[in-house]
Amino acid sequence: MIDFNWDEGNLRHIALHNVLPEEAEFAIQNDPLELAYEVEEEEERVVELGATESGRIMMVVSTWRGNGFES
């Protein structure tokens, strides 16, 4: 199981796209297609295309940190 850590800025950002944290987490955990790997300001980011439980397709950018993923 992956532990996700959401900060207020990221929660506000996904809300602008009508995305719930649970939807993004489901998309990441269920065999997404990796589109890109980026390093920005010494932070590694993974860009993935995945589907929610209801079948909604979304692109999710996440960062692995020592205590879990930040999306």
Q: Mean per-residue pLDDT for 7-25?
A: 95
pLDDT at 64: 79
Burial label, 70 (beta-carbon count in 10 A; 0-12, 13-18, 19+): middle
Which pTM does this prediction carry? 0.80
Q: Mean per-residue pLDDT for 9-38?
A: 95
pLDDT at 5: 87
pLDDT at 1: 65
Sequence spans of domains, the chain? 8-70
- Residue 21 tokens, joined: 């944290």
Cα–Cα distance for residue pair 13/63, rounded to 1 Å? 15
Angle between helices 8-16 and 21-29 (to 10 degrees): 90
